[in-house]
Chain A
C-alpha cells in the first residue's frame, strides 16, 4: 500500500525536468524531420508516448542534441531557463525562417504544503505531450514550404544568474523574425506538477 502511494505521488522536480527534457528532444527531432532540416533518411521510427516518433539516427546530431539537452536539464533543475527556442535558419542567407518557441513556466515555485494538490496522472501528461507532437506534425500543412537548405539553432533563454558553462554556451542573437513579416500560431501546452510548457511557432510570412 505504501509503495502504491509512493508511485502515485506527484512527480518530483527531478522527474519533471527529465520529462520536459525528453519532450524537448522528441519535439526538436519532430521539427527537424517535419521541416526537412535533415534528410528523412536520417530518421528512424521509435515508439514513444504511445505513438511513433521519428528520431534522428545520425550519430553526430544525436550527440549534439544530447549535449544541449544535458545542459538544459541542469537549468531546468535550477529553474533558470524560461524559454527554449528551436530556430530554423536559411543556410545561405542566415535569415531566420521559423522559431519554435517552448515557454517553460514553473507551476508552483513553492510547494503548497497546507493543501497538497492531487498529482497529475502520468497518462494525462503523456496525452498532452502527444497532442503537442501531433500538432507540430500538422503544422506542416500550413507553414510555408521552405525551398532552400536550412540549418537549425537551439536557443535557451535563461535568467541572469544561470550557471553557464563557459565556452560552451554563448550569448547569441535571438534570431527573431521581423514583426511585419512574421505570423505566429500558438500551440497546445502541457504541464507536469512542476512545469508548464507552452508551445508556439512564429514563421516568416511575406505576401
Chain B
C-alpha cells in the first residue's frame, strides 16, 4: 500500500490549470475596481461617516436617508447614479438628532420634520429586485459610490476580499496542489473552504436491486458479461468432480433411465416427483409415470395431435398431475386411474410452468400471465397475475401457500401474495416484490423448506447467478456467480445446502452450502448435454435430473442418517443399470457411454 497516490494520478489535476490566468485577472480587476470606486467617492463617504459619527445609530442602508439626500426627487436620481452627489446639496439637509432617529426607525410622521424638509416619500423607493442585482453582479462599477455603500454591506465586501486573497495566496504558495480551476469552481459553487485533495472511491456504487427501467444498463451488462464472465477453464476443478473432504458425494448416478424424446428446451418444466414416490416425465406429446418403488412405467396419455407437453407438476398429495400443453390448455389427470379428469383452457400459448397449492393449480404462460385455476370449480380461472413481460418459465408455491414465486424470460423474479380469496374472474393480483437483479431468464426458483422466508433464484446464460432473497423484507441476502447457465435450483430438505443444475459448457450439478455459499460439490458433465430439469425425491436424498441427452439420472446427493426418512428410499441398484422407459424404446449406446464415465 503506497502512502500516497502516485504522482501520475495527481498530474491530471495539475494539467487543468489554464483557468488560472483568467481567474487571477478577474480578481485583480476586482481589486482595482473596488479601489477606483473608493477613490471616486471620498466626498460622499465622508458625509456618511460624519453622519454616522454624529448619530451613532444611523443605518446607512435605510432608504429614507437616501431619499432625504436627494431633495430634487426622482429626476435627479439618474444623475446621482452616474456621478457622486454634489456635496452642496447634501449640506442643505439638516441632520438633527430627532430626524436621524426617525429615519433609522423607518417612521415618517405626517407634518413632521420630513414633510417640512420636502422629503420625497413616494418617488424614490428603490425596487428591491434591482437592489439585489446590483449588489450581486456589478458591485462598484455601475452604481455610484452612493449605492455601493448603501447596498453592499461592508462585511460582505470584506469577506469577498478575504476569500480572493486566500485563493491567491494559496495559489501562489503552492501551485502544485490540486487544480486551482477546480478549486475556484468549487469555491464558487459551494462557498466551502478550500481543501487540498478531493478523493473519491474508485468503484461506482452498486446498482439498485430493484430499480426499474434501466434497460440500457441491463443491455450493457449483457454485452459485457461474456467478456468478463468466469470462463469454465478458470474454475479450480477443471475435470471431474470435487467434493468437500468432510463428505463424499457420489459423482456417478445411482440409476439412469432412458427418456427418448425428452425435449431439449430450457423454458419447459418436464419433470416432477410426487410424494407417492412417482416420477412424471413428459416426452414430447406423451407423459409417463415411473414408480420409484416398483420401477413400473405407466403411460398417461398423449397430448392432442400437433401439440406437445410443456410442463408437468404433481399435486401436493401426489394424486393428481397437472399437465401444461403447448396449445395453452392445462389438463388434470388422475394418477391412480390414469384418466384425464378435465381440461382447463384459456391460455393461448404454451404453459411452460405449473405449480400446485392444494386445490389451486397455477400456470405460467408464454404470454407472461400467471393464472390460478381452482380445479374444483367449473369456472376454473379464479385469478390472473400480470407482472411479467416475458414467458413465465419458473413458478413455485411456497409450501404454506402464502406466497408464490415466479421467474420469467424478462429476467424478473416476482413474489406474489398467495391469497386467492373469494374473488371472481378478472381479479388481478400485483406482485409483492419485483426483483430485477438477474440479467437473463429466470427459470430456477425454489423456496427453502426449512426457512420459509428464503427464496432462491438462478438466472440463465448471461446471468448465471444465484440470488437468495428474504421474501419478508424483500432483501437480497446472498449472491453467487456460477460458471454457467442455471437451469434449476433445489434446496436440500434436510441440510443447509442448495443444489443447482447447469447448462453448457459445464453441464454440471453443483451443491452449495448455505449461507456461506461455498461450493460443497460439483459433478461436472453430469449429462452429455445441458442439464435441464431436476426434482428431489420425497425422502429428500435422491435428486433426479433430466437433460437434453434424453436421459434421466438419479443422484444420491444427500444421505439421510435418520431412519424415518429411509423407508421411502429407493432400492440401491447397479449404477450402470439402464431401465427402459417410454414405450419399450431402448438405446443401448447410452449404457456404454455411461460405463465409460
Q: Do A and B come from one complex?
A: yes
Q: Is the beta-carbon distance between B192 and A101 smaller than 8 angstroms?
A: yes
Known: A164-B4, A173-B182, A176-B186. A59 touches B477 (CB 8 A): yes
B208 within 8 A of A: yes
* Of listed B2, B5, B204, residue having the most chain A CB within 10 A: B5
Min CB gap B132→A, angstroms = 14
Contact A176 B6, beta carbon cutoff 8 Å: no
Stretch at the interface among A13-21, A115-123, A146-154: A146-154
* Given known A42-B209, A149-B211, A176-B190, contact A158–B202 (CB-CB < 8 A): no
B199 and A156 form a contact (CB under 8 A): yes
* Interface: A144 (CB within 8 A): no
Contact (Cβ within 8 A) B209 A39: yes
The 8 A CB mask of A152-177 against B (1 = contact, 0 = none) is 11111111101111111111111011
- The minimal Cβ–Cβ distance linking A40 to chain B, given in whole angstroms, is 10
Asked whether, in the complex, the Cβ of B201 is within 8 Å of the Cβ of A171, the reply is no
Stretch from B7-15, B116-124, B232-240 forming part of the interface with A: B7-15
Q: Which residues of B contact A (CB under 8 A)?
A: 1-6, 9-10, 12-13, 177-178, 182, 185-186, 188-193, 195-206, 208-211, 213-214, 433, 473-479
Residues of A within 8 A of B191 (CB): 184
CB A123 to nearest CB in B, in angstroms, measures 30
Other-chain contact of B3, A38, A60, A164 (Cβ < 8 Å): A164
Q: In the complex, A101→B195 CA distance in Å?
A: 13
Q: How far is the CB of B576 from chain A (nearest CB, A)?
A: 45
Across the interface, do B195 and A82 meet the contact criterion of CB distance under 8 Å?
A: yes
Chain A 128-140, CB within 8 Å of chain B: the 1/0 string? 0000000000000
A168→B5 CA distance, assembly (Å)? 9
Assess whether A164 is in contact with B206, with CB atoms less than 8 Å apart. no
Name B189's contact: one of A162, A168, A177 (CB within 8 Å): A177
Contacts of B5 in A (CB 8 A): 164, 166, 169-171
Binding site for B on A (CB under 8 A): 37-39, 41-42, 44, 57-61, 64, 67-68, 82-83, 91, 99, 101, 103, 149, 151-160, 162-174, 176-179, 182, 184, 200, 202
A154 to B200 CA separation, bound complex (whole angstroms): 6
Across-interface contacts of A42 in B (CB, < 8 A): 208-210, 474-475
Could you say which of B3, B195, B479 contacts A158, with CB atoms under 8 Å apart? Answer: B195
Nearest residue, chain B, Cβ from A83: B195
Cα of A156 to Cα of B196 in the assembled complex, Å: 10
Q: A154-B200, A171-B13 are in contact. Are A41 and B1 (CB under 8 A)?
A: no
Cβ of A170 and Cβ of B202 under 8 Å apart?
Answer: yes
- What A residues does B478 contact at CB under 8 A? 59
Instruction: List 20 A-B pairs, Cβ < 8 Å.
Output: A39-B208, A39-B209, A41-B210, A44-B475, A57-B475, A59-B475, A59-B479, A82-B193, A103-B193, A151-B204, A157-B197, A157-B198, A162-B197, A166-B4, A171-B178, A174-B189, A174-B198, A178-B189, A179-B188, A200-B192
* Whole-angstrom distance between the Cβ of B190 and the nearest chain A Cβ: 5
Are B206 and A60 interface neighbours, CB within 8 A? Answer: yes
| A41 touches which of B190, B202, B474 (Cβ 8 Å) | B474
A178 to B192, CA, bound (A): 13
